[in-house]
Every structure is written in structure tokens, then in C-alpha cells.
């Protein structure tokens, strides 16, 4: 069998590809791990390979940062060469980052089958670069692997034939569940200076951090929630850059109980999340991981492409409304956080179902 190319590019991709590669290896299916280099800092990339016990990428494109057009175009040019050289049986892309879009486009043009893991998610907000990536990737991929049935519905509404759609569950939860036991004994309190209950914060969406007024409103809400609680805020490089630019970094740092850190590795992060009282975030993945862990999550966004985390899980969408963030934040910390259940097929066995589907559909 010709090899399957597995594509990773940015931080949220690694924990989705790791279980798929392990399953392919287990079944002795030849595969090539390709890293585009969209994320390149050690703490945004290498630490995840170490923590997830992934093999080093077989191919590294080293594209780095740039405007959307430049980053996408660079990946496309390099990835086309790779496909011509390695003649894969199939390309597997995950999520909604620029690398996902670039590699699915190249595969489609070269008539190579492309499987999209995490297909069908829609925020219905085309201002988000990820939404454009999702729509285009889904429209040109051959195998659409959805994490929840809302994904199937969205794809069917867009006219995608049912025969291409497979609801297999959430593969990121495979990584979460398989590493959870190992982090239980991790002493994160000492490492992160934690002495009492804490909330975990992550923010990096351009809509939240690239505009001073919005970023400031969110900071003001966190100030209001502070008092009897500590905060751990592993900061994305984009967020740090913007906080410094807007002169907000020191204000954030001086919030009572605030601990701003470098981006955390995978194991430290899931340890932090699993022991937190509350997660405040604008990430997509965290909305899902908190639902799987039963930890209350407040999502600082106007919309979500992961509605199942609200209808079934622990997630609450509050937008950037200062008062809403404070109200729900305080309620949660007083013990009245939202509870939920784990959605169907978020069971740690999604990679097995994915590989079953890939094998049924490979030429």
C-alpha cells in the first residue's frame, strides 16, 4: 500500500494526529508524518511531540509565520512537491488551520484522496479565518469525519453527499483520556505557584486580542472576578505581543492572584485544566476538553462551531460582554457552574473508527 500522509501544522493539530498515527502504526499501515512548520517555537510544537510520544516528523516544511496568503501559499508550494515525490494513497488533514486548507487544496488538485478529521463544524461567522478554512476544506475533501451529528447536518445542508460523511467522534479526546491518568500525580501546584482554587485562562483569537477595546474589556472582567481565586494564564505568543503593544501587559500581570506563563506543554496543560475550578477561553479545543472532563467553561466568543459543548456539555457562551463574563464567572466559582454529559463517541476510541473508515475508502 502507498503511504498515507498525515498533516500537522499548528498546536491544536498534534493531539488529533497522534492517536491516528499510533493506530496506523499498530495496523502496520505505512504513513508519513508531515509538519508544515506553521507553529515552530518549541513550546508551541516540539513539547507536544515529546509529551504525546510522537515520532519526529518525517518531513518538515518550515514555512513559519506570515500573512494568511503567504503562509497558505508557502505550504501549498512545498506540499505539492512532497505529494509528487511520495505519491501518497491518501492525505489526512485535521482541524481548521491554514495548513489544513493548504494541504487539502493541493490534494484535490492532484486528485489524491483527502480525509478531513473534524469536518462539518461551523460557527457561521465568516470573519473568522478558521471558518473559511473549514468551508473550503470540507467542500473539496473526499472523506468527512465529523465529531458530532451537528457536523453531519451542516455538511448535508451544504449539499455534500451523505456517502462522504462519517460521524466518528472526537479524536482529541483520545489523547486527553489516554494521558489523563499519567498527569494525575503531576505536582502542578508547585510548578505554577498554586496555593488555592484557580481558574485557567487562554485567549488568542484575533477578534479578542487584536483590538485594544475588546482586550481591555476582557481584562476588566477578570479584574472583577479576582479576589478569592488564583489565575493561570499560559499566554499565546500573539496575545503577549498584542498585550505589550497595547500597554496592557502590566495591568494584566498585576491582577490579584494572576500567574502569566509561557504557553504550557500538553501534559502540564491537561493537568492544569483537569484540576481547575473554571476555564475562561476563546479556544475551540478547550470547549471540548472541558466538556469531556466535566469542568465548567466560559467561552469568550460571540459564537461557537462546537454547539454540542453547550447543548450537552459544560460550556457557556458569553461573548465579550463584561457583565456576563463576571456574572457567570462568579456563579461558577461559588459552585453553581454548568454541569453536562459527554457527547456520543467522545470515548477515547475515535482513532480506531477513523482508521476503519480510511481503510474502507482507500483505493
> Catalytic positions, please?
204
* Ordered DSSP codes for 296-308: -EEE-SS--S-TH
Q: Tell me 60's DSSP state.
A: E
Angle in degrees, CA 164, 61, 57, rounded to 5: 75
Taking residues 164 to 203 in sequence order and writing x for each that binds ligand UD1 by CB under 6 A, - otherwise, the string is: ----------------------------------------
Taking residues 34 to 73 in sequence order and writing x for each that binds ligand UD1 by CB under 6 A, - otherwise, the string is: ----xxxx--x--------------------x--------
Q: Does 217 bind ligand UD1 (CB under 6 A)?
A: no
Q: Does 136 bind ligand UD1 (CB under 6 A)?
A: no
Cβ 97 to ligand UD1 shortest distance, Å: 3
What DSSP element (H or E) covers 345? none
Q: Residue 24 or residue 61: which is nearer to ligand UD1 going by CB?
A: 61
Query: What grid cell was written down for 207?
Result: 477578534
Q: Which of 32, 86, 125, 129 is in the footprint of ligand UD1 by CB under 6 A?
A: 129
Q: Does 97 bind ligand UD1 (CB under 6 A)?
A: yes
Q: Which of 3, 211, 214, 237 is in the footprint of ligand UD1 by CB under 6 A?
A: 237
Q: Residue 237 or residue 294: which is nearer to ligand UD1 going by CB?
A: 237
Q: Residue 201 or residue 358: which is nearer to ligand UD1 going by CB?
A: 201
Which of these segments, 7-15, 179-187, 311-319, 349-357, binds ligand UD1 (CB under 6 A)? 7-15
What gap in Å lies between CA 247 and CA 242, rounded to an integer? 8
Cβ 33 to ligand UD1 shortest distance, Å: 18
Taking CB atoms within 8 Å and a gap of at least 24, the contacts of 211-216 are 212/246, 212/248, 214/320, 215/242, 215/243, 215/246, 215/248, 216/246, 216/248
Cβ 63 to ligand UD1 shortest distance, Å: 10
Q: Does 130 bind ligand UD1 (CB under 6 A)?
A: yes
Which of these segments, 23-31, 76-84, 104-112, 234-242, binds ligand UD1 (CB under 6 A)? 234-242
Cell 486527553 sits on residue: 176
Q: Up-side HSE of residue 231: CA atoms within 13 Å toward CB?
A: 26
Q: Tell me 235's DSSP state.
A: P
Residues 6+ apart with CB under 8 A from 355: 20, 23, 24, 27, 29
**Count of residues making up the chain:** 363
Q: Which residues bind ligand UD1 (CB under 6 A)?
A: 10-12, 38-41, 44, 65, 96-98, 129-130, 204, 236-238
Amino acid at each position: 500500500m502507498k503511504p498515507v500522509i498525515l498533516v500537522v501544522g499548528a498546536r491544536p493539530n498534534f493531539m488529533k494526529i497522534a492517536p491516528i498515527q499510533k493506530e496506523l502504526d499498530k495496523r502496520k499501515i505505512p504513513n508519513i508524518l508531515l509538519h508544515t512548520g506553521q507553529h515552530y517555537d518549541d513550546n508551541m510544537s516540539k513539547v507536544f511531540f515529546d509529551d504525546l510520544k510522537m515520532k519526529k516528523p518525517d518531513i518538515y516544511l518550515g514555512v513559519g509565520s506570515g500573512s494568511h496568503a503567504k503562509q497558505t501559499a508557502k505550504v501549498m508550494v512545498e506540499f505539492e512537491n512532497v505529494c509528487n515525490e511520495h505519491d501518497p494513497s491518501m492525505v489526512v488533514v485535521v482541524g481548521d488551520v491554514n495548513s489544513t486548507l493548504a494541504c487539502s487544496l493541493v490534494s484535490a488538485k492532484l486528485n489524491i484522496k483527502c480525509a478531513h478529521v473534524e469536518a462539518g463544524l461551523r460557527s457561521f461567522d465568516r470573519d473568522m479565518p478558521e471558518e473559511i478554512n473549514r468551508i473550503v476544506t470540507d467542500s473539496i475533501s473526499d472523506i468527512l469525519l465529523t465529531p458530532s451529528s451537528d457536523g453531519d447536518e451542516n455538511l448535508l445542508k451544504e449539499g455534500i453527499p451523505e456517502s462522504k460523511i462519517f460521524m466518528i467522534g472526537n479524536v482529541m479526546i483520545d489523547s486527553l483520556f489516554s494521558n489523563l491518568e499519567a498527569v494525575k500525580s503531576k505536582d502542578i501546584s508547585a510548578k505554577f505557584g498554586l496555593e488555592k482554587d484557580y481558574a485557567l485562562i487562554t485567549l488568542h483569537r484575533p477578534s479578542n486580542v487584536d483590538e485594544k477595546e475588546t482586550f481591555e474589556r476582557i481584562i476588566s472582567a477578570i479584574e472583577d472576578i479576582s479576589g478569592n481565586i488564583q489565575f493561570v494564564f499560559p499566554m499565546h505568543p500573539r496575545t503577549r505581543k498584542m498585550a505589550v503593544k497595547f500597554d496592557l501587559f502590566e495591568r494584566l500581570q498585576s491582577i490579584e492572584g494572576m500567574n502569566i506563563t509561557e504557553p504550557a506543554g500538553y501534559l502540564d496543560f491537561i493537568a492544569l485544566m483537569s484540576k481547575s475550578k473554571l476555564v475562561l477561553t476563546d479556544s475551540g479545543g478547550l470547549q471540548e476538553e472541558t466538556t469531556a472532563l466535566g469542568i465548567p467553561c466560559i467561552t469568550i466568543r460571540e459564537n461557537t462551531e462546537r454547539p454540542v459543548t453547550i447543548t450537552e456539555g459544560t460550556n457557556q457562551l458569553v461573548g465579550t460582554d463584561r457583565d456576563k463574563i463576571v456574572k457567570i464567572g462568579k456563579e461558577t466559582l461559588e459552585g453553581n457552574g454548568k454541569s453536562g454529559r459527554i457527547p456520543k463517541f467522545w470515548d477515547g476510541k475515535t482513532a480506531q473508527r477513523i482508521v476503519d473508515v480510511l481503510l474502507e475508502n482507500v483505493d
